[in-house]
Amino acid sequence: MKRLEGKVALVTGAGRGAGAALALKLAAEGAAVVVNDLDAAPAEETVAAIAAGGGRALAFAGDVTRPGFAEDFIATGVNGFGGADILVNNAGYIWNAGVGATTDEQWDAMQDVHLKAAFRIARAWNPWLVERARAEAADQQEGARRQARKMVNISSVSGTHGAWKQIGYSAAKAGLIGLTKSLAREWGPLGVTVNAVAFGLIETRLTQVITGETSIEVGGRRHRVGLTREIRDNLYAQTPLRRGGTPEDAAGAVLLFCLPESDYITGQIIEADGGVGM
């Protein structure tokens, strides 16, 4: 039997990069996966790749910052596959600036996509968690074991250590760690573990050198995404492994917190960063 057989996993930002790699790993372990992406086409591509490997998946396209997104996302897992056992908050992007150049709009955008969206998803998940915990507590009288459920939040070494001219992004990712630890305490009695993985430089479209063509549209605004060559070169120089991580490297670290082997680990942060945070 596969380690996640019978589980339902929901992953935001899973149409590309580390999120897509994670969705494939979860499916390979037996989980049914709800694949979210801002755009429908990448989400459908990940679903098709999972299906080609014999797995089960549903696409759920949409902006994680949209009011009502969280409730609809949870409902897709519950109605589509019968549950919502594993949640991974991975969606996001980087909109860089130093403190003097950061506008209120820029600050709010980083908090909304990285921190507020994760909070809303947690809030939407809570009623289902409480209901399942009560039902399983009643079953325990007959010897049944409570089912372990998991949330993994994707933070960054920018959140654990700060980063040059990433004011809004670093603050949001640091806030996500506080949310992780608070939820771990609140949900622990329900048998839910909540952990975070802080990524270093992971090679995706969001961390490539900025060009005029590297952009995404969020909330009707088009943003250039990526890093300046100066920031990328600095990250490489500070990384003991002297390379960026692959999406598979990143997904492997997240998968650990989704598996039964981590059932007694909660409120923790792993830095998947090639050693840059040492």
Going by the DSSP 8-state scheme, the letter that residue 242 receives in this structure is -
Residue 167 has pLDDT above 90, yes or no: yes
pTM score: 0.93
Average confidence score pLDDT of the chain = 92
Give the per-residue pLDDT at 144: 56
pLDDT in tens, 101-132: 999 999 999 999 999 999 999 999 999 999 99
Going from the C-alpha of 151 to that of each of 188, 204, 209, 235, the distances in angstroms are 11, 23, 31, 28
- Look at domain 8-199+248-272 and name its CATH class: alpha beta
Hey, where are the domains in the chain?
Answer: 8-199+248-272
Residue 214 has pLDDT above 70, yes or no: no
Residue 26 has pLDDT above 60, yes or no: yes
Q: Are 36 and 63 in contact (CB under 8 A)?
A: no
Going by C-alpha positions, the residue among 149, 8, 29, 126 that lies closest to residue 70 is 126
pLDDT in tens, 41-74: 999 999 999 999 999 999 999 999 999 999 999 9
Count the alpha carbons within 13 Å of 259 in the hemisphere toward its beta carbon. Answer: 15
Amino acid at position 113, single letter: V
Catalytic positions? 169
Percent helix, strand, coil in the chain (nearest 5)? 45, 20, 35
pLDDT grade for 142, boundaries at 50, 70 and 90? low
Residue 229 to residue 213: CA distance in whole angstroms:
15
Identify the weakest region by mean pLDDT among 9-23, 65-79, 158-172, 181-195. Answer: 158-172
Going from the C-alpha of 80 to that of each of 29, 32, 83, 117, 266, the distances in angstroms are 19, 10, 8, 22, 28
Residue 201 has pLDDT above 90, yes or no: no
The distance in angstroms from the start CA to the end CA of the chain is 38
Phi first, then psi: give them for residue 51, nearest 5 degrees: -60, -35
Residue 186 to residue 189: CA distance in whole angstroms:
7
Return the number of other C-beta atoms located less than 10 Å from residue 252's C-beta.
17
- Higher-confidence residue of 172 and 141: namely 172
Give the per-residue pLDDT at 231: 76
Q: What percent of the chain has pLDDT over 90?
A: 74
Residue 215 has pLDDT above 80, yes or no: no
